[in-house]
């Protein structure tokens, strides 16, 4: 079982978009996939609640809300036996202690960010914090940057590419500002499940991201889940 954490302290950068689409890509590929939602707003779980039963199933774990009476956190965090991929959607405004807990046991880290000057400034500071946190967690965890809502001809995007190169953070892909993501979000689908020429363009931009994640996972031994749930469960 591999755990991919989608994280950025900056709100509105597309964490849920990246997490939900990554989960749908893996489910479509035949991996038993779980989606953890640590955000109190529950956006990933709302997306999952709208997912058609005709699409590949994704096991949902709502971790950001109030704990159900009569249950333990360990019970709430259970996943089905045989789960191969866990995708973690995280909240904004994280403290270092919270970051450390979320990143512990991660196989790979994805940081979505927008190209604007404010987003670049805030996210680069956040990436420095991540590096500090990771020093205390033992073996190095790969970090990949996902540029989101990109206009490739814009000067802000070119500045983003240059700043990431200067600071040594890999830009694994750039996702265009596309209406397909809004349509997918409203239907519980991934962009690759929409069909059509426009969605095909967006799906193509995901290939480098999937290749990067798969490449980092191939270098690691899978982790064993701490606990298991009924394999037939689809949503928590």
The DSSP code sequence of 51-66 is --TTSPP-EEEE-SSP
pLDDT at residue 77, rounded to an integer? 63
Confidence of residue 232 (pLDDT cuts 50, 70, 90): very low
Q: How far apart, in whole angstroms, are the C-alpha atoms of residue 36 and residue 87?
A: 6
Tell me what the mean pLDDT of segment 3-11 comes to: 95
pLDDT at 231 over 60: no
Report, as an integer, the average pLDDT of 121-129. Answer: 95
Q: How far apart are CA 64 and CA 113, in angstroms?
A: 22
Separation between Cα atoms, residue 111 and residue 134, nearest integer Å: 14
Q: Which residues pair with 176 in a beta bridge?
A: 150
For the segment 87-99, the average pLDDT, to the nearest whole number, is 90
Q: Tell me which residue of 109, 78, 64 sits closest to 228, measured CA to CA.
A: 78
Pairing mode of beta strands 85-89, 2-6: parallel
Model confidence at 44: pLDDT above 70? yes
Q: Could you report the per-residue pLDDT of 130-153, keeping only the tens digit for each?
A: 999 998 887 789 999 999 999 999
pLDDT, average across residues 102-124: 96
| SS3 call for 3 | strand
* Mean pLDDT on 39-57: 95
Residue bearing tokens 């479509």: 28
pLDDT band at 233 (very low <50, low <70, confident <90, very high): very low
Q: Structural domain boundaries of the chain?
A: 2-225
CA 9 – CA 119 distance, rounded (Å)? 10
Q: Rounded to the nearest 10 degrees, how much is the dihedral formed by the CA atoms of 145, 139, 222, 108?
A: -10
The predicted structure's pLDDT at residue 218: 83
Answer yes or no: is pLDDT of 41 > 60: yes
**Residue in the structure block whose two tokens are 């709430």:** 76
| Residue 236 binned pLDDT confidence (cut-offs 50, 70, 90) | very low
pLDDT tens per residue, range 155-172: 999 999 999 999 999 999
Matching CATH number, 2-225, of 1.20.1440.60, 3.30.56.10, 3.90.550.10, 3.40.50.300: 3.40.50.300
The mean pLDDT of the chain is 88
| pLDDT-derived band at 196, boundaries 50, 70, 90 | confident
Instruction: Give me the count of residues in the chain.
Output: 236
Buried b (16+ CB within 10 A) or exposed e, 58-69: bbbbbbbeeeee
pLDDT: which is higher, 68 or 147: 147
Tell me the percentage of the chain whose pLDDT exceeds 90: 72
Kindly report, residue by residue over 198-220, the tens digit of the pLDDT. Answer: 788 999 999 999 999 999 988 87
Q: Residues with Cβ < 8 Å from 90, sequence gap 6 or more?
A: 5, 6, 7, 8, 15, 38, 39, 102
């Amino acid at each position: 079982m591999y755990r991919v954490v989608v994280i950025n302290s900056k709100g509105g950068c597309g964490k849920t978009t990246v997490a939900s689409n990554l989960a749908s890509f893996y489910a479509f590929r035949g991996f038993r996939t779980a989606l953890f939602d640590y955000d109190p707003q529950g956006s990933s779980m709302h997306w999952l609640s709208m997912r058609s039963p005709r699409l590949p199933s994704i096991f949902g774990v709502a971790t950001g809300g109030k704990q159900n009476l009569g249950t333990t956190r360990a019970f709430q965090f259970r996943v089905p036996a045989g789960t191969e991929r866990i995708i973690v959607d995280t909240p904004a405004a994280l403290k270092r202690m919270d970051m450390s807990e979320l990143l512990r046991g991660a196989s790979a880290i994805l940081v979505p960010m927008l190209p604007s000057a404010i987003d670049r400034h805030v996210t680069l500071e956040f990436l420095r914090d991540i590096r500090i946190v990771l020093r205390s967690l033992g073996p190095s965890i790969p970090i990949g940057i996902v540029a989101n809502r990109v206009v490739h001809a814009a000067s802000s995007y070119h500045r983003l590419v240059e700043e990431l190169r200067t600071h040594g953070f890999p830009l694994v892909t750039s996702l265009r500002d596309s209406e397909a993501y809004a349509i997918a979000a409203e239907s519980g689908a991934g962009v690759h499940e929409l069909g059509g020429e426009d969605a095909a363009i967006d799906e193509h931009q995901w290939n480098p991201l999937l290749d990067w994640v798969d490449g980092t996972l191939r270098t690691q031994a899978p982790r064993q889940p701490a606990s298991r749930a009924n394999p037939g469960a689809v949503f928590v």
